[in-house]
Amino acid sequence: MIPRETRVFKADLSGVERARAYIKDVAARLELAEDMAFRVELALVEVWTNIVRHAFAAGEGDFRVACWQEESLLFFEIRDAGAPFDPRDFKEPDLERYRNGGGGGGFGCFLISRLMDGVDYRRHGGENVLTLWKSLSPP
> pLDDT band at residue 89, thresholds of 50, 70 and 90?
confident
pTM: 0.88
The answer to whether 72 and 136 are in contact (CB under 8 A) is yes
Distance separating alpha carbons of residues 33 and 61, to the nearest angstrom: 33
Q: Does the pLDDT at position 105 exceed 80?
A: no
pLDDT in tens, 31-68: 999 999 999 999 999 999 989 988 887 778 999 999 99
Banded pLDDT at 110 (limits 50, 70, 90) = confident
Query: Which DSSP symbol is given to 59?
Result: S
CA 74, CA 48: separation in Å to the nearest integer?
18
The three state secondary structure string of 76-124 is EEEEECCCCCCHHHCCCCCHHHHHCCCCCCCCHHHHHHHHCCEEEEEEE
Give 74's contacts (C-beta < 8 A, 6+ positions apart).
2, 30, 40, 67, 68, 133, 134, 135, 136
Q: Could you give the CA distance from residue 127 to residue 124 in angstroms, rounded to a whole number?
A: 5
Go through the domains of the chain in sequence order and give each one's CATH number. 5-135 (3.30.565.10)
